[in-house]
Amino acid sequence: MAPRDPRAVDRLKPPPWHVLRGPMAFILSFVVVVVTVWATAANYFMVARDPEAPVDTYLNHLEGGSARQVLAPLLLRQEHGLAQLPSNALYRAAANRPRGHEFVGTRVTGDTAVVSADVHLGDGSTVRRDYTVRRAVSRGPFNDAWQLLERDNAPVTVRLPAAVDALAVNGVPVRPDAGSLTSAAGTTAGAPARAWRFEALPGEYDVALPQHSYLLASEHATAVMSLADPRPTTVDLRFDASPRMWEAVDREIRGTVARCERVLHFDAAHCPVPRELGRAASSTRTAPASSSAPAVQGGIPEGVSNVRWELRSRPALVLEQDEREPLVFHAVRFRPATATVTWLEKGERKKGTAEFGIEVTARSTGAELDTAVQLRSTLTQREKAAGRS
């Protein structure tokens, strides 16, 4: 192997520090100068140096429907009493909100200024609005900035008969926060009425219930937040059973009736029967039969077989809201349902008609539905009168 050249080894050694110090100092100084100039320039253009700048940013957010960007500074300041914040989608759907603006004047007094602007609304009208801004002094070059001191927001209170899972504001589903849902003012302790509050910006808000809810707003509530004079607003929202609830309850009734019409298994304990079959069932017990056509208790009486139960007619479903519990609905008892029942008793084919009421209780907070259906043999006076007519 040939010996190594000592000069080649010397060329591989790094240069001494006194040789590198000059170029490295130059490069470091250049980077520091470039970063400083860039940061200063960016700071100069990004900081609101004109009194109109924060107002222009604020109004642009309103016109773009950016409710969260407008109200976020209020959260940072941790203002007390702030209601639930609306989403951007909710505010973009608000009618008659700001669509454009023009500045008409600025009055500067020391570190405070009043900026006047003509704001154009969605209905074509124009509102002149004065906004107060303050100069915030900060360390460093070009760090002094103007800050907007106010927002055009106020809470909207929606009074409800009871708490629901969700509402729809401007067609956008909203789930009320627990902290924004309280007992309605003026109600007694333990009453179900509730009040939901949300922060509103200039515009109109249509309050109802979601499209797929089991509850339906009796009438939409409209809250208007004026740009010229934003102030707290209260609206009332009442609800009833929605078509979705009616369809679900009707399916439950059909299912209950279908269980009585089963050929293989007749549930005598839950299906009303004619008087004569009820008397046959009563005769198998020691207790005397009552005069109100009791339902078969404990199954089919001895000597009876091949029971066939077929619905002939039932009243149309009409749901009525409970007076004390707004989330509960009952079927109106206005006429009886009838069924034809045939059976074999000691080898003889018999036939009769059963009149019965349909007891329905449905409860929903909007998203879920609990339904209880019972076929009862005991008729109300109204049902008896309707059956005789």
Average pLDDT of the chain, as a whole number: 84
pLDDT digits (tens, 9 = 90+) for 305-333: 888 999 999 999 999 999 999 999 999 98
pLDDT of residue 268: 76
pLDDT digits (tens, 9 = 90+) for 271-286: 898 887 766 555 554 4
User: Which residue has better confidence, 103 or 261?
Assistant: 103
Q: What number is the average pLDDT over the span 144-169?
A: 92
Q: Are 369 and 363 in contact (CB under 8 A)?
A: yes
Nearest CA to 118 out of 133, 99, 91 is that of: 99
User: Which residue has better confidence, 339 or 138?
Assistant: 339
Please count the other Cβ atoms lying within 10 Å of the Cβ belonging to residue 158: 24
Q: What number is the average pLDDT over the span 70-85?
A: 79
Helices 67-76, 52-64: axis angle to 10 degrees equals 130
Q: Name the class of domain 154-238.
A: mainly beta
Distance CA 160, CA 237 (A): 6
Just give the CATH number of 52-148.
3.10.450
Distance CA 301, CA 305 (A): 9
Written as one letter, the residue type at 198 is F
pLDDT of residue 378: 84
pLDDT digits (tens, 9 = 90+) for 230-249: 999 999 999 999 999 999 99
Question: What are 338's two structure tokens?
Answer: 């009838």
pLDDT digits (tens, 9 = 90+) for 83-133: 999 999 999 999 999 999 999 999 999 889 999 999 999 999 999 999 999
| 287 pLDDT more than 50 | no
Residue 31 confidence class, pLDDT cut points 50, 70, 90? confident
